[in-house]
Structure 1
Amino acid sequence: MNGFLRRIIFYALLIAIWEMVFRLHIWEEFLFPAPLSVLQTLVNGFMDRTFLIGIAISMRRITIGYGISVIAGILLGLLIGRVKLLDETVGSLVLGLQTLPSITWLPLALLWFGLNEKAIIFVVIMGAVFSITIGTYSGVKGVPPLYLKAGRNRGAQGYQLFLQVIIPAALPSIVVGLKQGWSWAWRSLMAGELLFVSLGLGFLLMMGRELNDMSQVIAVMIIIIIIGLVVDKLIFAKLERNLYERWGLDLA
């Protein structure tokens, strides 16, 4: 039995248990809807384009916020990893800021930017950038000195040393940081959209709660999970697999 078939059986059993619990009538139907009710909500939401619009708005925000985080995080990680003064000063600050839950940036964002798109994107950036920075920093610090010496012997200096030696050697750790950063960015986006009217998937989740429509709440949660899995499998898992194969670390 291959992995795909096992997953199909697992999710089928999960839905069967869900249906069984629903039929026990432990909770009212509006609090614990049947699987078919959630499926109907999903179909209706896509047919009237409500979910499509929500997905488009959320994906635009995550693309902008995460894109900025990637650029800023990698640059900052490279600098902290190579400049001792920055490592001893900014490095400790980054470690401290990374422990902050991303939602704690929202009050600051609202005061600085108001109830608008910029506030949500700011929260996304602050939620992701430090994970990416730390991943890049760890990769740079883990580059064997022998690689640096070999690069210099071949004439690589300055930015050439970064491009030809440091970044390729640090790439596995950078990818781990990018993956963690995406996870934090996605959570930060949902938290930001939940807390004030902003459209997007988080807004649809909150509207379901306000209307006591648990079918919509669960339907949106399923969409959020699926998007997260798709991004992980189509982008990060593939990227990690290619890196492992390139470095001879693929043990499968």
Structure 2
Amino acid sequence: MRSSRLRPSREVSLKLLRIVGFYVAIVAVWSLLGRAEVWSPFLFPSPEKVFESLRTNFANGLILDGLQASLRRLAAGYAISFVLGMSLGLLTAAWRFADETIGGVVLGLQSLPSITWLPLAVLWFGLSESAIIFVVLMGSTFSIAISARSGMRGLPPLLARAAGTLGATRWQLYRYVVIPAMVPSMVQGMKQGWSFAWRSLMAGELLFVSVGLGHLLDVGRNLNNINMVFAIMLVIIAVGVAVDRLIFGRAEAWVHERWGFSAG
């Protein structure tokens, strides 16, 4: 019995060791390439230089200020896109006419790269915070809408009929059958919408913003500071991975544990 308790702990330790070993190997290879100067240090910096740039820009507050500004814009745009996306998704799933009309528009707009909304945003809102939030909103709304529609349309008719046979009211049908069946697709749509929103935000900040991670990338480019460019890229990647694992990863695990559905 004691060995059975230790086994999961050992498996977790081995998994952690493999992950840490993988990233240590990447940094080691990166360091060797940097020291060998296979490419010019002005084009491919060593990890030591990049980590030094990270330390410096965290210490002087540049990265923290930029991160705070970027997350504030992201939260505003993503919150609006979630409400709009869910509303569009439920509307097109529940109403055939809306699906045949608005649904086609949603599919078409989803195919547009997020950055293509930027010229329109500038014309409508000028070089402002509203323009960036608009780009974030348009980048994520339609993926959330499509996932919400798919979740509701994907409900097996047999489940609805079985609930009706058992005497479920319309409210009970939605609460205990429709919503649980939709949640996995909703979580997946939110996850996809977040990734689109994050990329849209960085693209917008690269072009015109006074504070933000995307703007710091542009500052590094203008200063010919490759160390700073790599450092900010690492921060952007770290934020993306952290949100995916800590928020959406836990949400997917909760969905699987609560209802036995997979959100992946």
Q: Please tell me whether the aligned partners of residues 78 and 194 of structure 2 are also in contact (alpha carbons under 8 angstroms).
A: yes
Q: RMSD of the TM alignment (CA)?
A: 1.5
Q: Please state how far the C-alpha of 1:164 moved relative to its aligned partner.
A: 4.5
2:170 maps to which of 117, 140, 156: 156
Counterpart for residue 256 of structure 2: 244
Which runs of no fewer than 5 residues in structure 2 stay unpaired? 1-12
Structure 1 residue identity aligned to 2:96: K
In 2, Cα distance between equivalents of 1:183 and 1:242: 20
Counterpart for residue 48 of structure 1: 60
TM-score normalized with structure 2 length: 0.90
Structure 2 residue identity aligned to 1:194: L
Partner secondary structure for residue 104 of structure 2: helix
Counterpart for residue 11 of structure 1: 23
Identity of aligned residues (%): 52
In 1, Cα distance between equivalents of 2:14 and 2:84: 41
Structure 2 residue identity aligned to 1:240: E
Matched residue count: 248
Counterpart for residue 39 of structure 2: 27
1:112 and 2:120 equivalent? no
Q: Please tell me whether the aligned partners of residues 128 and 184 of structure 1 are also in contact (alpha carbons under 8 angstroms).
A: yes
Q: Please state how far the C-alpha of 1:53 moved relative to its aligned partner.
A: 0.1
Q: Please state how far the C-alpha of 1:245 moved relative to its aligned partner.
A: 2.0
In 2, Cα distance between equivalents of 1:53 and 1:151: 52
Q: Deviations over 1:91-142 (max 9, x none)?
A: 1111111010000000000000000000000000000000000000000001
In 1, Cα distance between equivalents of 2:175 and 2:170: 9
1:59 maps to which of 62, 71, 84: 71
1:208 and 2:220 equivalent? yes
Counterpart for residue 84 of structure 2: 72
Structure 2 residue identity aligned to 1:39: F
Q: Please state how far the C-alpha of 1:5 moved relative to its aligned partner.
A: 1.1
Counterpart for residue 183 of structure 1: 195
Q: Deviations over 1:220-252 (max 9, x none)?
A: 0000011011101111011111111223357xx
Which runs of no fewer than 5 residues in structure 1 stay unpaired? none
Q: Please tell me whether the aligned partners of residues 150 and 185 of structure 2 are also in contact (alpha carbons under 8 angstroms).
A: yes
Structure 1 residue identity aligned to 2:215: F
Structure 2 residue identity aligned to 1:2: L
1:136 and 2:148 equivalent? yes
In 2, Cα distance between equivalents of 1:78 and 1:119: 27
Counterpart for residue 4 of structure 2: none
Q: Please tell me whether the aligned partners of residues 156 and 164 of structure 1 are also in contact (alpha carbons under 8 angstroms).
A: no
Q: Please state how far the C-alpha of 1:79 moved relative to its aligned partner.
A: 0.8
Q: Please state how far the C-alpha of 1:198 moved relative to its aligned partner.
A: 3.2
Q: Please tell me whether the aligned partners of residues 147 and 189 of structure 2 are also in contact (alpha carbons under 8 angstroms).
A: yes
